[in-house]
A and B are shown apart, each in its own frame.
Chain A
């Protein structure tokens, strides 16, 4: 069972999974960046969106989270049009964490306040979220003086504090050292084991091997494969996926 959401029911009366995109197209500057994508994300486990740079991974994640409006196509959360009040049920972590000019604890409390969590319980929940990310000792430190790894863990803790149904991580370790990467991956594993759906964007095959249950391979704004991780690594069915795994597709 996924962890209980901390989101105020009055603000978001419904679940958001499955997230479904039908015939999604996104164009900018005369270029088609998402090309008629059909995708559904429900259930549990870790789904890895992988592909070369410019494949459309981050853009697709933003479209599914309702942060970017597609040029064409339909997006639904649990069969309904996206409702921004339900945004706290999607935890979104960016490649470069954007932290408020406040303490680590205040950053998490802010997310809880936005989600409608009552003031008396915010502090306790925020501290619990920091403990989970092993940041309790930094609760009162200004968020922006934390190391890169600590900042990313804080961003994940903030995203998780509201008890989201799905956690989307956009290349969360691309600028982190191995130790910080391990800490982030451990947290992601823990979140997954608690039943939260995880969507991880990466082009790191090692990370895919370590974390993925299922893989969506994107190239040129299109989905070429969606398969279990093991099958993707051992028997990719498309020429593009095979070339990517051989390191022959860079862009």
Chain B
């Protein structure tokens, strides 16, 4: 119990003194997960929008698959990306394995289905509401896409934040493709796993507290967005 209290005290000291190692790990974590969330939004939102407005054979199966992909196991994604980026893999020539870029790719694969699936649902709901009015104004299906994306912006941003939450908290994929290399690919979750296994609870707890804070901030942003949207009647 005494050790635990001491570890917490040390963790708080590390945070308060803005420890260089800790700051580096937090910085890389945010950098990787923000980049992955951005890439996932670039891919996921248009895909979600096209499925939402599209009418084609196999659409229901595609939606089913997309929803199922939201629960992709990170270790499986990590393994697949590892195989693709390894020297023998189709993308081995790029030399990306054990780099932040590999981690961004893995997290993008994890997050894009979340953004696409949640975005699809948002846009489809909005489309049902707007459909007849947009057609009455002479808006075709493709022209409707930017309209729906803009009018659904608050909900879509929430979907992106949910994706960021998933990215920043996952460990399985980034540890496989990043390798948890100190000063290169060590992020909060992989560092927590490593430091805990080494028995260095102070750094692990410090990172855990920061990770929890990030989760709270993300949720506060989601809540803030919803309140802002509701107040301005743009939700």
A interface residue numbers (CB < 8 A to B):
62, 65, 67, 84-88, 90, 92, 94, 98, 100-102, 110-111, 114-115, 142-145
Residues of A within 8 A of B233 (CB): 101, 142-145
**Complex partner residue of B234 from A67, A84, A88, A101, CB under 8 angstroms:** A101
**16 A-B contacts, Cβ less than 8 Å apart?**
A67-B135, A84-B140, A85-B138, A86-B138, A87-B138, A90-B136, A94-B136, A100-B147, A101-B151, A101-B234, A110-B147, A114-B137, A114-B138, A142-B234, A143-B233, A144-B234
Please report the C-alpha to C-alpha distance between residue A238 and residue B111 in the assembled complex, in whole angstroms: 65
Please report the C-alpha to C-alpha distance between residue A86 and residue B136 in the assembled complex, in whole angstroms: 10
**Complex partner residue of B133 from A94, A101, A145, CB under 8 angstroms:** A94
Residues of A within 8 A of B138 (CB): 84-88, 114-115
**B129: CB under 8 A from chain A?**
yes
Please report the C-alpha to C-alpha distance between residue A143 and residue B133 in the assembled complex, in whole angstroms: 15
CB distance from B137 to the nearest CB of A (A): 5
Residues of A within 8 A of B18 (CB): none
Q: Which residue of B lies closest to A91 (CB)?
A: B136
**Complex partner residue of A100 from B130, B136, B140, B235, CB under 8 angstroms:** B130
Residues of A within 8 A of B198 (CB): none
Residues of B within 8 A of A88 (CB): 137-138
Q: With A98-B130, A101-B234, A142-B234 as known contacts, state yes or no: A92 contacts B151, CB within 8 Å.
A: no
Residues of A within 8 A of B147 (CB): 100, 110
Please report the C-alpha to C-alpha distance between residue A1 and residue B127 in the assembled complex, in whole angstroms: 37
CB of B139 within 8 A of CB of A114, answer yes
Q: Which residue of A lies closest to B232 (CB)?
A: A142
Residues of A within 8 A of B183 (CB): none
Please report the C-alpha to C-alpha distance between residue A246 and residue B50 in the assembled complex, in whole angstroms: 52
Please report the C-alpha to C-alpha distance between residue A142 and residue B132 in the assembled complex, in whole angstroms: 21
CB of B136 within 8 A of CB of A101, answer no
CB distance from A203 to the nearest CB of B (A): 21
Please report the C-alpha to C-alpha distance between residue A101 and residue B139 in the assembled complex, in whole angstroms: 16
**B143: CB under 8 A from chain A?**
yes
- List of 4 A-B pairs having minimum Cβ-Cβ separation, nearest first: A87-B138, A98-B133, A142-B233, A92-B136
CB of A87 within 8 A of CB of B135, answer yes
Residues of B within 8 A of A143 (CB): 233
Residues of A within 8 A of B133 (CB): 94, 98
CB distance from B140 to the nearest CB of A (A): 7
Q: Which residue of A lies closest to B152 (CB)?
A: A101
Residues of A within 8 A of B129 (CB): 98
Please report the C-alpha to C-alpha distance between residue A114 and residue B130 in the assembled complex, in whole angstroms: 15
Residues of B within 8 A of A65 (CB): 136
Most buried by A among B232, B234, B235: B234
Contacting A at CB under 8 A, from B205-235, are 232-235
Residues of A within 8 A of B132 (CB): 62, 67, 94, 98
Residues of B within 8 A of A85 (CB): 138
CB distance from B123 to the nearest CB of A (A): 13
Q: Which residue of B lies closest to A146 (CB)?
A: B233
Please report the C-alpha to C-alpha distance between residue A65 and residue B235 in the assembled complex, in whole angstroms: 30
Please report the C-alpha to C-alpha distance between residue A143 and residue B235 in the assembled complex, in whole angstroms: 12
Please report the C-alpha to C-alpha distance between residue A62 and residue B137 in the assembled complex, in whole angstroms: 13
Contacting A at CB under 8 A, from B11-38, are none
Please report the C-alpha to C-alpha distance between residue A1 and residue B147 in the assembled complex, in whole angstroms: 34
Please report the C-alpha to C-alpha distance between residue A144 and residue B232 in the assembled complex, in whole angstroms: 9
Residues of B within 8 A of A110 (CB): 137, 147
Contact with A along B143-158 (1 / 0, CB 8 A): 1000100010000000
Residues of A within 8 A of B139 (CB): 114
Residues of B within 8 A of A92 (CB): 136
Q: Which residue of A lies closest to B132 (CB)?
A: A67
Please report the C-alpha to C-alpha distance between residue A111 and residue B121 in the assembled complex, in whole angstroms: 25
CB distance from B189 to the nearest CB of A (A): 37
CB of A67 within 8 A of CB of B136, answer yes
Please report the C-alpha to C-alpha distance between residue A98 and residue B139 in the assembled complex, in whole angstroms: 14
Q: Which residue of A lies closest to B234 (CB)?
A: A101
CB distance from A84 to the nearest CB of B (A): 6
CB distance from B129 to the nearest CB of A (A): 6
